[in-house]
Structure 1
């Protein structure tokens, strides 16, 4: 992709996603995530109704009566985007390629964040950390991020979500809001790292997948390629047994994902490459806002 074409794509995404963030997501992001970034302010004596989890046991022991920690909302929050750039993100059979949808969702989230004067950073990952862009403010920084998303050429093709989550936990000392964008086609175990990451930060997961990831059409004998390993194989899609096995593998992967995010307390939104992701994002934001009232 030459420089002119890259700039045109960046501009196209900017126009669409900036408009969405201003006109549709105005207030939704902040309502869903406000209060999640908090800092310690002071201690005061315990009062009936206070959450016992906020008791400062050291101060309580010194004064022989209970004291609780008081927190206040940070005026400045940080958003981190963890973006899967593995080989499978290049796949697109029904609708756009997954990486194109991920790029638009990431841009919409980023523009929504800067409406509230928040910082935005990105972790690009495959089965390794491909690139880390530290959080900064401003439109210029967001456009840099969009250019990187569009023009990213990963060195590896595999997927390892565990690596990305561990990197974020170690790299960011301050609590942030984080969005993990991936198709979640990953055979590694990431339960522990997701649980730890969500305790330290405020993590949400957004799955972007193609309908052909979930179901094979009956089109006879076809050659398919694993986008991450490059391995080719022939599949007889006219075989009910083959299609059933494919459906089962997808179902088990989705069950694993649902179980993992559920046990870790992570909110999940799923969107296909041929549907409007706006509804899925709004549902994610409003669900979070509702459960945190």
Structure 2
């Protein structure tokens, strides 16, 4: 199926004109009418944490109060049963991890993976603000991190989008360092930046994830709700009409691949399925949500599918 690029997008560069319109699409995903996550995750639903509760005050126990909220210290001091009152947390911190590293600067059909990641980040940023939450981000270029603390109102999304546009331009300039770090520093930054009880959304191809990072990952998961959005390209599944020989690189090694051979395409597909399975098992072990998005079609069309 042939897809058209989103308005103002060329699939490689980023501009505010292609990212800002996602603000108009948040209404259709606002609970309780419809949840973006239930649409994306289908049968892969995990535990629902909901919003947190803030302590408000203590008052004397009244018939019908939940006995689980009894304040035993005040009860013991006064000799009369007292209960704690709570109010729903009004502003939940939402923090996005957005991977713009070298492996994300690739797309064989419609969009670079980094561009698709930016489009999703825009939608999630505006959705967070529409739900009266605060939005922040850690943007990872593979050689540096940009940390943006959770902020309310439109300032949060606009700051994130401006950084995405500027960093994508910088990365495409060819003036960036060739070396790529793994995701360790990103997880350290997320653990430091995210207030307890945050919703953390990791948007990446996870090529730079290493099993040695699981303790940092687990630390992040214990304190917050974490979701993984795996961005991939059809070529990574071995899906391509190209049948020639091409020099490919994984940022470490280079080799010539003959795409006319079934064994070549099947080998690529097998490697992708192995990588995907590891991510799914990681999510299952921690009871986290997992979803995959392709760079071969516009974001909104995939979400509507």
Residue correspondence of structure 1 range 187-226 to structure 2 within 5 A:
187-189=209-211, 190-215=213-238, 217=240, 219-226=243-250
| Counterpart residue number, 1:83 | 98
Deviates more, 1:149-158 or 1:102-111: 149-158
Q: SS of the residue aligned with 2:54?
A: strand
Which of 7, 12, 17 lines up with 2:18 in the alignment? Answer: 12
CA gap of 1:43–1:163, structure 2 versus 1, over 3 A, is farther
Q: 1:216 to 1:252 in 2, by over 3 A?
A: same
Deviation at 1:42, TM superposition (A): 6.9
Residues 112-121 or 136-145, more deviating: 136-145
More helix by share: 1
What is the alpha-carbon distance in structure 2 between the residues aligned to residue 194 and residue 267 of structure 1? 14
| 2:73 maps to 1:73 | no
Q: Does 1:120 align with 2:126?
A: no
Structure 2 residue aligned with 1:37: 52
**Residue of structure 2 in register with 1:240 after alignment:** 262
TM-score, normalising length: structure 1:
0.76
Aligned-partner Cα distance in 1 for 2:37–2:83:
26
Q: 8 Å contact 2:49–2:225 — kept in the other structure? A: no
Using the size of structure 2 for normalisation, the TM-score is: 0.73
Q: Is the 8 A contact 2:104 2:114 kept in 1?
A: yes
Q: 2:150 aligns with which of 121, 135, 155?
A: 135
- 1:183 to partner: Cα distance: 1.2
Q: 1:260 offset after TM fit, Å?
A: 0.5
1:25 partnered with 2:25: no
Question: Is the alpha carbon distance of 1:242 and 1:51 closer, same or farther for their aligned partners in structure 2, counting shifts above 3 Å?
Answer: farther
1:179 to 201, 216, 219: 201
Structure 2 Cα separation of the partners of residues 69 and 280 of structure 1? 45
CA deviations on 1:110-156 (whole Å, 9 max, x unpaired) are 11111122211110124455110111122233222111112213655
User: Which of the numbers 121, 126, 130 marks the counterpart of 1:106?
Assistant: 121
Q: How many equivalent pairs are there? A: 269
Deviations 1:59-85 (A, max 9, x none): 6xx89xxx9987642111111011111
Question: Which structure 1 residue ranges, 5 or more long, are not aligned?
Answer: 284-293
Distance 1:42 1:161, change over 3 A: farther
